[in-house]
Chains A and B, each alone.
Chain A
Amino acid sequence: MQLNKAEYAALVKKASPRSAVGRNCVWAFAVGGCICAVGEGLRQWFLAAGYTLSDASLLASVGLIFLSAVTTALGWYQKLASRAGAGTLVPITGFANAVVSPAIEFRCEGLVTGSGAKMFVIAGPVIVYGTLAGSAWGLVWYLIRPYVGGMV
C-alpha cells in the first residue's frame, strides 16, 4: 500500500489514543502549583529567619531539591509524575529528579562511569544551553551597557 505523507498522518491520528489534554493540564496545574506553594512556604520561612531575598529563594530551591531527592529515592516522585506530567517536570524538583533518578539507577555500573556520568544525561544539556544563553546575554549586556546605563 502506497501512502503519501498526509494520508499517513491522518492514519496515525486515527490510530492514536485521544490524549486527555484537559485532564493532564488540570493535574499539571494542581501539582506544579502545590510544589511552588511549598517553595513559597520555605522561602517565607527563610525570610523570617533573617536571610536576604536572594539567599532565601536559593535555600527554598535547595529545600525542594532535597525533598525531590528523597521522594525520588522512595519511588514516590515517579508515581506522582506519571499523573502530574509537566507539573512535576517544570519545577526545580523535576531537574533534581532528572539528576537523582539516573544516579540511583546506574549505581550498579559504579560511582564514576555509572552514577557520576549518568547524573548529567538530562541535567547536562540543561546546564550547557542555560550557561551558553546566560553568557551570550552577558556579552550583549557588556556591549550595550554604556548606552543603556545601569538599569539592572
Chain B
Amino acid sequence: MNYLWAFVVGGGLCVIGQLLIDLTALTPARILVGYVVAGVVLSAAGVYQPLVEFAGAGASVPLLGFGHTLAQGAVRAVELHGLIGVLTGPLAAAAGGITASLLAGFLMALVAHSRDQN
C-alpha cells in the first residue's frame, strides 16, 4: 500500500505541474520556484505533514516536500534557538539535498564533459 499511495500522490502532484505547463505560460523554472514556495505555505498551514505521513515519498520527493523541509527547519530552529532560528533553520534543514545536488553536479561536470559536446 505504501508504494501505491506514493505512486498516486506523487503522480498527482506531477499532473498539477503538467497542467500548469500546458494551460499557462509558466516556464519550468517558475514552476519549480512555485512548488517550493507552495510547499512552505502548505507546511505552514499544517496540511503537508499529514500528507507526508500518508504518502511517504509520494509527498516528500516532489519539490513541495523540499518547501515542507524548509518550513519545518524554520519551526524547529525557532523552537531550539529562538529568533536566530529564523535565519539558520530553513537552509540548515535543506542542506542535505542541496549539497548532494551540488556534489552530483560537480562530479558529473568532471567525468561527463567530453560526452556532452558530441
- Once the chains bind, are A130 and B70 in contact (CB under 8 Å)? yes
- Once the chains bind, are B17 and A58 in contact (CB under 8 Å)? no
Main SS class of interface, B:
helix
- Once the chains bind, are B109 and A103 in contact (CB under 8 Å)? yes
CB of A113 closer than 8 Å to a CB of B? no
Pick the residue among B29, B52, B73, B116 that contacts A125 (CB under 8 A): B29
Q: How many residues of B contact A (CB 8 A)?
A: 83
Main SS class of interface, A:
helix
Nearest chain A CB to B112's CB is how many angstroms away?
Answer: 4
- Once the chains bind, are A95 and B86 in contact (CB under 8 Å)? no
Pick the residue among A39, A85, A95, A150 that contacts B101 (CB under 8 A): A95
CB of B8 closer than 8 Å to a CB of A? yes
Pick the residue among B6, B60, B107 that contacts A37 (CB under 8 A): B6
Binding site for B on A (CB under 8 A): 19, 21, 24-25, 27-37, 39-44, 57-58, 60-62, 64-66, 68-70, 72-73, 75, 85-87, 89-96, 98-100, 103-105, 107-108, 111, 115, 119, 121-123, 125-127, 129-131, 133-142, 145, 150, 152
Binding site for A on B (CB under 8 A): 2-3, 6-23, 28-29, 31-33, 35-37, 39-41, 43-44, 52, 55-58, 60-63, 65-67, 70-75, 77-79, 82-83, 85-87, 89-91, 93-94, 96-98, 100-102, 104-113, 115-117
